[in-house]
Amino acid sequence: FFLINLNPNLKKLAISQTEMHTSAEQLEDWLVNHGYRQNFFARYGQWLGLLPKQPATDPATGKPAQRFSFCNDPVVPTFSGVLQGDFGCSTKFKTTVASKLFPALGATGLLMFWVLAVMVPISLLVGILAGMREGSRTDRTLSVASIASTATPEYVSGVIFTVIFASWLGWLNGSAASASQGLTFYNFTLPVMTLAIYGTGYIARMTRASMVEVMTQQYIRTARLKGLSFSSVVVKHALRNALIAPFTVIMLQFPWLLTGVVIVEVMFRYQGFGYTLVEAAGNNDIDLLLGCSLVSVFIVLITQLISDVGYAFLNPRIRVQ
């Protein structure tokens, strides 16, 4: 809240809401009339909803008025902040933050669902196959492919996929803007591929490392000495224990996806959370930026909690301790 409300950002907001050639005095009057020059802690308390939100001042009459007419702000002091479900007004999109942020978050949630649906099974399969026989040709090939995919950032793989599948072959659409009206294989595959490829290599390498460690355990050797086939040992004994560590890594992908979608959504014009965040930052949309920050922190905390609880549930030794 402090960094977003620094004076240069407030001045840029005033310029974007007035005119480029507005005098410094008029910009200052705009900030005063719209409540941006109130005491910092008072503004913070109003944003949280701990203090009553103060209305703006009509410069013509000097009477209380709505801060932004497109948000139906109250004209009397009212407790209306984050704690009451009011995230403020978006000066860029001329609407409430909630009406813009949550649909965008839903669009990103849909993208993340399909990315995880593609990324997790493939990465687990690759990691298990590579870790079953450490040092084999299969292990070396899959490991090199995993490292190559992880070393390639989204803005590089996205451009490569667009050139190959959209420009040269014409199989896919290089823009996902139409996906907000309806998802199709044609308009939604490229952003999913771009995000999934990067995360697949990371999860696969973590799964491989866990699988290699499990395959060297004493109980695996005992099972082999008892005459169990290699496939039975892997499926019945090694696989369950090897998947405990990748579970934590998979949960860590949610915060990463929030940052990854910023690049991918802007690149493919997909109007989700990342696209909204970039638009808010580029236009000094203070309330929308704060709303995006809150959502990001909330998702990180929730996924970390699920990761810790899930790890203890999967690993009996943690529960005993």
pLDDT tens per residue, range 127-169: 888 887 788 888 899 889 988 988 888 888 888 988 888 888 8
Q: Is pLDDT at 78 greater than 80 in this prediction?
A: yes
Lowest mean pLDDT: which of 112-121, 205-214, 222-231? 222-231
- Model confidence at 73, pLDDT cuts 50, 70, 90, reads confident
Give dist(CA 171, CA 178) in Å, integer: 16
Give dist(CA 311, CA 152) in Å, integer: 29
Q: What is the mean pLDDT of residues 175-179?
A: 71
Can you state the angle between helices 7-17 and 24-33, rounded to 10 degrees?
100
- Chain-centroid distance, C-alpha 42: 31
Q: Is pLDDT at 303 greater than 80 in this prediction?
A: yes
Q: What percent of the chain has pLDDT over 70?
A: 95
Q: What's the whole-model pTM score?
A: 0.80
Q: What is the mean pLDDT of residues 28-49?
A: 88
- Model confidence at 188, pLDDT cuts 50, 70, 90, reads confident
Q: Is pLDDT at 20 greater than 70 in this prediction?
A: no
Q: What is the mean pLDDT of residues 192-200?
A: 87
Q: Exposure pattern of 196-232 as b/e (b: 16+ CB <10 Å)?
A: bbbbbbbbbbbbbbbbbebbeeeebeebeeeeeeeee
- Model confidence at 2, pLDDT cuts 50, 70, 90, reads very high
Lowest mean pLDDT: which of 9-23, 83-97, 104-118, 271-285? 9-23
Q: Is pLDDT at 311 greater than 80 in this prediction?
A: no
- Model confidence at 74, pLDDT cuts 50, 70, 90, reads confident
Beta bridge partners of 89: 96
Who wins on pLDDT, 40 or 59? 40
Who wins on pLDDT, 261 or 98? 98
Asked if 164 and 194 count as a contact pair (C-beta separation under 8 A), the reply is no
Q: What is the mean pLDDT of residues 116-121?
A: 89
Q: What is the mean pLDDT of the chain?
A: 83
Angle in degrees, CA 135, 209, 151, rounded to 5: 90
